Amino acid sequence: MKNSVEKRQLTLRLVNHYCDLLEIKDRPDLIFYKKDILQLPREERGNITYKRLCGCYYIDSNVIYVNLSNHKTRKQLIDTVIHELVHKVSECTLPHGVMFDNMVKLISSLD
């Protein structure tokens, strides 16, 4: 993937694809820039170091942030989209760990 326009377009297609696959009716909005995160309510966005994140799901706003600069390959982008959609599907009740990772792998294998 060469540029951020291409990455944004791919991310939008991936989110639509996996939302269809997982039958998610209320599709999350996507944001790609830190300035957009700063427009979210402070109590929701917290004090996260955004440079390290590949992605983040904000449950109250139904928004997924994807840090495009932290993705060098298509596979990394796919994994981030699936990871954040698992947060959405589980309504952020499933903590990171073995079960979470297994769900991400299961969804990845459905393609």
pLDDT at 38 over 90: no
Per-residue model confidence as pLDDT tens digits over 65-89: 999 988 999 999 999 999 999 999 9
Query: What pLDDT is stored for residue 50 in this prediction?
Result: 61
Which of the 8 DSSP states describes residue 73? S
Amino acid letter, residue 90: S
pLDDT at 24 over 90: yes
Amino acid letter, residue 74: R
Number of folded domains in the chain?
A: 1
pLDDT at 4 over 90: no
* Distance, CA of 73 to CA of 68 (rounded, Å): 10
User: CATH code at 50?
Assistant: 3.30.2010.10
Residue 84's domain comprises 4-109
Assign 12 a pLDDT band (cuts: 50, 70, 90): very high
